[in-house]
């Protein structure tokens, strides 16, 4: 096992990983930007190295500096967290080149699955159903032709996109040319790759994803599904496990399909296979995320498996000590993302407690939130034996949360989980479009 790990991230996920290391008896090295000197992950790690300026490009996205910090502190492995360099194949390769273990899949797998077009083709070859759509489109003319075949509305998607960015809805032919040009040049700027493909816009659908672990010996175990249909601008706001729309039979099918997808790609470590599911319970692969997901805690709560610890063990060559048959999805877990609506300083801070209430955050009283990074402040996660009780527990937990000094979406989240459609489990990815509560 490793004796020292560097965490190449910040915020709540860096803290989540530091905690796992502490429980495993592994020393930790934090890296931080000049804007993050006062951040909690720096205080909680055993050592900390400043790696550059506030802008992510100068620090958390600077692979060379991070590798140098790992070598200088004699860390053996690097955990990338999510976002930043976590899905960057070049960074994974750089770690390997310097004899450091990248805690994630091999560079080749990251690059294959990170190319959404290549991933779709691999899935089709392996009998995994994908959303109806095209391969890479050469130009707007080809897009117009393809959309005539598929039928409007369609989505044009950047093959290199992620985090809800690089996706555009096109409803009419007259909008296609412009949409294609702007989306493609935006993708070229944001991801360094302007290649676009098209999918039929499916509606109404649920976003259902399967969390899995794959060890170096080829064992794959799925940890049930998460439903993440509550989204704004294709970004998740509320996640839960199990999905109220998934029966035990569908769960088995989903997990078998996800395992097939992982096997086909030669997957190792923790990964998530994302599907869209229609009202007839047909499901279609949309992409595979090769990182630890933001919403991983809900799967931990319902399975009792610590995903981060297993990421570390798998990277160290430890085989999974449980099989698919050992996994029981029990009870119900919900996560609400708490996002800032603007800059601020945490003047007063109170977090809820009680059994099975978990608030993963990097906030503390007096903390000045740097304006350079993601707006997510924390994740409220609750677990209960029934979904009904979990919803009440979440309402209570969110009501207890006090964050003064920074505007955030806590009130909106309370309204969302109190919504009749959410309570019934009868909700789809278009939920926020028709949701009135949050604007009040
Ligand atoms: P989610 O957790 O909502 O499913 P993803 O898994 O796509 O989102 O990404 C996880 C995190 O990484 C999010 O914070 C997201 O903003 C960020 N992220 C992922 N891909 C990119 C990208 N290509 N550009 C910028 N940020 C990204
Ligand atoms: P990202 O890499 O940014 O996470 P995804 O391909 O996973 O992009 O899509 C993000 C979200 O966009 C999905 O969760 C879903 O809500 C919506 N979406 C993606 N593809 C489709 C589709 N073909 N039809 C309807 N909605 C879609
Ligand atoms: Mg996605």
pLDDT tens digit sequence for 314-343: 999 999 999 999 999 999 999 999 999 999
Instruction: Say if residue 112's pLDDT is above 80.
Output: yes
Take atom 11 of ligand 1 and give the residue whose Cα is closest. 83
CA-nearest of 162, 240, 229, 276 to 433 is 229
Which-ligand-closest: CA of 187?
1
- pLDDT for res 164: 85
Reading the block at residue 154, the tokens are: 């369609």
Q: How far is the CA of 273 from the centre of ligand 3 (A)?
A: 9
- Nearest atom within ligand 2 for CA of residue 284: 23
Q: How far is the CA of 83 from the centre of ligand 1 (A)?
A: 5
- Nearest atom within ligand 1 for CA of residue 166: 23
* Chain-centre distance for alpha carbon 140: 31
pLDDT tens digit sequence for 131-143: 999 999 999 999 9
Take atom 17 of ligand 2 and give the residue whose Cα is closest. 234
Instruction: Say if residue 75's pLDDT is above 90.
Output: yes
Residue 54 near residue 30 (C-beta atoms within 8 A): no
9 in ligand 1 pocket by Cβ < 6 Å?
no
- Nearest atom within ligand 1 for CA of residue 164: 7
Residue 345 near residue 368 (C-beta atoms within 8 A): yes
Instruction: Say if residue 436's pLDDT is above 80.
Output: no
Could you count the other beta carbons within 10 Å of the beta carbon of residue 38?
A: 13
Instruction: Say if residue 258's pLDDT is above 70.
Output: yes
Q: In the chain, what percentage of residues exceed pLDDT 70? A: 99
Work out the pLDDT band at 54, boundaries 50, 70, 90: very high
Q: Which of the pair, 164 or 252, is modelled with greater confidence? A: 252
210 in ligand 2 pocket by Cβ < 6 Å?
no
Paired strand residues for 336: 238, 380
Q: In the chain, what percentage of residues exceed pLDDT 90? A: 98
Q: How far is CA 71 from CA 15, 23, 28, 77, 95, in A?
A: 21, 23, 13, 10, 10
155 in ligand 2 pocket by Cβ < 6 Å?
yes
- pLDDT for res 163: 86
* Chain-centre distance for alpha carbon 51: 25
- Nearest atom within ligand 2 for CA of residue 289: 2
Q: Find the mean pLDDT for residues 392-418.
A: 97
pTM: 0.96
Ligand 2 pocket test, candidate residues 234, 235, 274, most atoms within 8 A of CB: 234
207 in ligand 2 pocket by Cβ < 6 Å?
yes
Take atom 9 of ligand 1 and give the residue whose Cα is closest. 163
Work out the pLDDT band at 434, boundaries 50, 70, 90: confident
Residue 58 near residue 33 (C-beta atoms within 8 A): yes
- pLDDT for res 440: 38
Query: Which residues make up the environment of ion ligand 3, defined by Cβ < 5 Å?
Result: 274
Residue 367 near residue 40 (C-beta atoms within 8 A): yes
pLDDT tens digit sequence for 162-190: 988 899 999 999 999 999 999 999 999 99
CA-nearest of 436, 404, 409, 406 to 420 is 436
Q: d(Cα 53, Cα 189) in Å, to the nearest integer?
A: 22
Q: Find the mean pLDDT for residues 244-264.
A: 98
* Chain-centre distance for alpha carbon 157: 18
Instruction: Say if residue 359's pLDDT is above 90.
Output: yes
- Nearest atom within ligand 2 for CA of residue 161: 2
201 in ligand 2 pocket by Cβ < 6 Å?
yes
Cis peptide before 265 (omega within 30 of 0): no
| Strand residues in 2-153 grouped as ranges (E) | 4-7, 27-33, 47-52, 77-79, 101-102
HSE toward the beta carbon, residue 396, CA cutoff 13 A: 16
Mean residue pLDDT of the chain comes to 97
pLDDT tens digit sequence for 282-300: 999 999 999 999 999 999 9
Q: How far is the CA of 162 from the centre of ligand 2 (A)?
A: 9
Ligand 2 pocket test, candidate residues 276, 288, 295, most atoms within 8 A of CB: 276
Please name the residue ranges forming H helices in 173-295.
176-191, 248-265
CA dihedral 318, 321, 323, 326 (to 10 degrees): -150
163 in ligand 1 pocket by Cβ < 6 Å?
yes
Residue 294 near residue 337 (C-beta atoms within 8 A): yes
Q: How far is the CA of 332 from the centre of ligand 3 (A)?
A: 22
Take atom 20 of ligand 2 and give the residue whose Cα is closest. 286
Instruction: Say if residue 439's pLDDT is above 50.
Output: no
51 exposed, middle or buried (CB, 10 Å; 0-12, 13-18, 19+)?
A: buried
Q: d(Cα 345, Cα 341) in Å, to the nearest integer?
A: 12
Residue 207 near residue 229 (C-beta atoms within 8 A): yes
- pLDDT for res 437: 65
What are the φ/ψ torsions at residue 277 (nearest 5 degrees)?
A: -125, 130
287 in ligand 2 pocket by Cβ < 6 Å?
yes
């Amino acid at each position: 096992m490793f004796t020292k790990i560097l965490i190449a991230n910040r915020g709540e996920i860096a803290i989540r990983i530091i905690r796992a290391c502490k429980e495993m008896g592994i020393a930790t090295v934090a890296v931080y930007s000049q804007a993050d000197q006062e951040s909690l992950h720096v205080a909680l790690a055993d050592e900390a190295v400043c790696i550059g300026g506030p802008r992510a490009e100068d620090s958390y996205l600077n692979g060379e500096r991070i590798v140098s910090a790992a070598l200088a502190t004699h860390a053996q492995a690097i955990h990338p967290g999510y976002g930043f360099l976590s899905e960057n194949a070049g960074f994974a390769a750089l770690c390997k080149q310097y004899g450091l273990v990248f805690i994630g899949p091999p560079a080749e797998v990251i690059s294959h699955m990170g190319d959404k077009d290549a991933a779709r083709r691999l899935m089709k070859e392996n009998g995994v159903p994908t959303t109806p759509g095209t391969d890479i489109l050469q130009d707007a003319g080809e897009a117009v032709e393809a959309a005539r075949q598929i039928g409007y509305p369609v989505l044009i998607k950047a093959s290199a996109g992620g985090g809800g960015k690089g996706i555009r809805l096109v409803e009419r032919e007259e909008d296609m040319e412009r949409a294609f040009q702007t989306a493609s040049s935006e993708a070229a700027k944001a991801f360094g790759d302007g290649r676009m493909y098209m999918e039929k816009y499916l509606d109404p659908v649920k976003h259902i994803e399967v969390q899995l672990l794959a060890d170096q010996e080829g064992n794959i175990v799925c940890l049930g599904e998460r439903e993440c249909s509550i989204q704004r601008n294709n970004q998740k706001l509320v996640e839960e496990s199990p999905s109220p729309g998934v029966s035990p039979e569908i769960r088995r099918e989903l997990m078998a399909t996800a395992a097939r997808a992982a096997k086909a790609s030669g997957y190792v470590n923790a990964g998530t296979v994302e599907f869209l599911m229609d009202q007839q319970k047909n499901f279609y692969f949309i992409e595979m995320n090769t990182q630890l997901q933001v919403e991983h805690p809900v799967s931990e709560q319902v399975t009792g498996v610590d995903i981060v610890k297993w990421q570390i063990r798998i990277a160290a060559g430890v085989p999974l000590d449980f099989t698919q048959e050992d996994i029981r999805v029990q009870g119900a877990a919900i996560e609400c993302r708490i996002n800032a609506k603007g800059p601020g300083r945490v003047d007063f801070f109170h977090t809820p407690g009680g059994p099975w209430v978990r608030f993963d955050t990097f906030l503390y009283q007096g903390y000045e939130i740097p304006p350079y990074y993601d707006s997510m402040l924390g994740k409220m996660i609750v677990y209960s034996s029934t979904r009904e009780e979990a919803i009440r527990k979440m309402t209570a937990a969110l009501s207890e949360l006090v964050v003064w000094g920074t505007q955030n979406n806590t009130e909106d989240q309370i309204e969302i989980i109190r919504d009749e459609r959410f309570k019934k489990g009868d909700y789809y990815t278009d939920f926020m479009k028709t949701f009135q509560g949050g604007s009040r």
